[in-house]
Amino acid sequence: MKMATVVGARPQFIKAAPVSRVLRQTHQEILIHTGQHYDPNMSEIFFAELHIPRPDYNLGVGSGRHGEQTGAILKAVEEVLIQERPDALLVYGDTNSTLAGALAAAKLHIPVIHIEAGLRSFNRSMPEEINRVLADHISSLLLCPTTAAVQNLAQEGITAGVYRNGDVMYDAFLYNRELSRTHSTVLKRVGLKPKAYFLCTIHRAENTDEPARLKEILTALGQIQVPILLPLHPRTHKTIREQRLEGLIGSRVRILDPVGYLDMIALEAGAAKILTDSGGVQKEAYFAEVPCITLREETEWTETVATGWNRLAGAKAEAILQALHEAEPQAQHPGIFGQGDAAEAFVRILDAWARNG
């Protein structure tokens, strides 16, 4: 088949890496980078480290308001699709790039394939929830990482073309873990020993656009007696600067620029505990068997909570500190994200789907 793939944001580069590797063994792939993320440490570094093929198109859309950004991607992807006429369009996850790519294809009657379909937070104030619900409803082939995701789709009446293939982020994690062990020098650079620090990431709109929530989170971090590494998304950096919140961050919190994936795996595996509002980092905490505190009221990755490895703390300082105190490694660690062969499973499903028209 001639496939076109739309990626645009950091987690999508990581998801695309294992899938492109397998897909290209038997299919043609046109890779379209929307340019939603563009800083070298938010984009280029992942293409280089993970050997992701060079994009055939870089749409250079950049940042903007939701309508502005989504509209610009929609227009630019449509032009590429008209020119390339792929047999299907592949999208990942829940970003504005995902929705715009899916919509452009659906309007041109190009079947949409959604990897990481069926995830729900049931919180429609999140931009990601709108993006993923709409993308799922215009997809022909829906690849679900978990059983809960399959059930979520069934509740919305989507049962045709739905498959559980496992989580491609687990494939990426397993593939790169050893490389990270041998190549990453990040712990040496920051001068910390494994299990002697906590790792934190913050970037969700709900936590960065509402200074009151960000203040509470930073206040909690400032009270923790263990060194904390905070590789910071540019969006959060900007809010901290604009709102002059630096004073809340205690001396034990070390802000880093965003790091590459191999360094990130090393930081995750070496952390005693992880605090995050990221979807991907919640899962990677589980893969690495590190207790996680989620700085949100709900999660799409409910299995990580059900197994006791993840705690929902929201954004109140007291609740965060309490959850941190309670978070401990669990005796059981069931394989809820598949076997690390989700990309292969996807391509088998794709082949069968293509054969059956």
Q: What is the x/- site pattern for ligand UDP, positions 218-237, by CB under 6 A?
A: -------------x------
The DSSP result for 219-274, as a single string, is HHHHH-SS-EEEE--HHHHHHHHHTT-GGGS-TTEEEE----HHHHHHHHHH-SEE
* Contact status, residue 97 vs residue 36, Cβ threshold 8 Å: yes
Residues numbered 1 to 40 that lie near ligand UD1 (CB under 6 A) are 9-11, 36-39
77 binds, among ligand UDP, ligand UD1, none (CB under 5 to 8 A by kind): none
Number of residues that bind ligand UDP (CB under 6 A): 16
Does residue 129 touch ligand UDP according to CB under 6 A?
A: no
Per-residue mark of binding to ligand UD1, 59-88 (x: CB under 6 A): ----x-------------------------
Q: Please identify, using beta-carbon distances, which residue of 203 and 311 lies nearer to ligand UDP.
A: 203
Q: What residues from 195 to 234 belong to the interface with ligand UD1 (CB under 6 A)?
A: 203, 233-234
Residues facing 28 on adjacent strands: 2
Q: Is 203 a catalytic residue?
A: yes
Residue among 33, 37, 203, 233 flagged as catalytic: 203
* Selection from 35, 33, 31, 34 nearest residue 4 by Cα: 31
Q: Check if the beta carbon of residue 309 is closer than 8 Å to that of residue 292.
A: yes
Residue 129's binding partner out of ligand UD1, ligand UDP, none, with CB under 5 to 8 Å set by partner kind: none
Smallest gap, in angstroms, from Cβ of residue 71 to ligand UD1? 13
Contact flag: residue 281 with ligand UDP (CB under 6 A):
yes
Beta carbon nearer to ligand UD1, 21 or 233: 233
- Listing DSSP states for 147-182 in one string gives HHHHHHHHHTT--TTEEE---HHHHHHHHHHHHHHH
Shortest separation between residue 265's beta carbon and ligand UDP, angstroms: 7
Listed in sequence order, the residues at least 6 apart from 121 whose beta carbon sits closer than 8 Å to its beta carbon are 128, 129, 298, 299, 300
Buried b or exposed e, range 248-284, using 16+ CB within 10 angstroms = bbeeebeeeebbbbbbbbbbbbbbbbbbbbbbbbbbb
Q: Which residues are catalytic?
A: 203
- Interface residue list for ligand UD1 (CB under 6 A): 9-11, 36-39, 42, 63, 94-96, 127-128, 203, 233-235, 238
- Interface residue list for ligand UDP (CB under 6 A): 10-11, 14, 201, 203, 231, 258-261, 264, 278-281, 284
